[in-house]
Amino acid sequence: MHAAGDQLGNLCANRPTYVNLISQDNDWHSLRLGLAGQTQLTERLSLSGDVAFLFTRLDGKDQHHMRPKIKLIPEDGDGHGVQLEAVLGRGE
């Protein structure tokens, strides 16, 4: 049995609150590049929007202090994506 979802297994029972059981150290590195613009379609109607490209990287370490055979568990990853937004506005 593992600890995922096991609330009643007493896996860390009777540990004082000052005992460090698990440490998590994450560094996120992200970059967002984009453009934004706005135009007046009519006297009372405007259109605005932006588009951005996102790049991100995770450098992480997980450590379970009560399990000495397991040292640091690396948690690394990267990703990219696009963010779009458009707003149609009506003035009165």
pLDDT tens digits, 57-92: 999 998 888 887 888 889 999 999 999 999 999 987
Grade residue 6 by pLDDT with cuts at 50, 70 and 90. low
Quote the domain boundaries for residue 56.
Answer: 22-90
Quick check: is 14 in a domain?
Answer: no
Tell me whether residue 34 is in a domain: yes
Domain assignment present for residue 2? The answer is no
Per the domain annotation, does 72 fall within a domain? yes
Dihedral sign, CA of 33, 51, 87, 91?
Answer: positive
Q: What is the mean pLDDT of residues 11-21?
A: 72
Residue 30 has pLDDT above 60, yes or no: yes
Does residue 7 form part of some domain? no
Average of per-residue pLDDT across 41-55: 96
- How many domains would you assign to the chain? 1
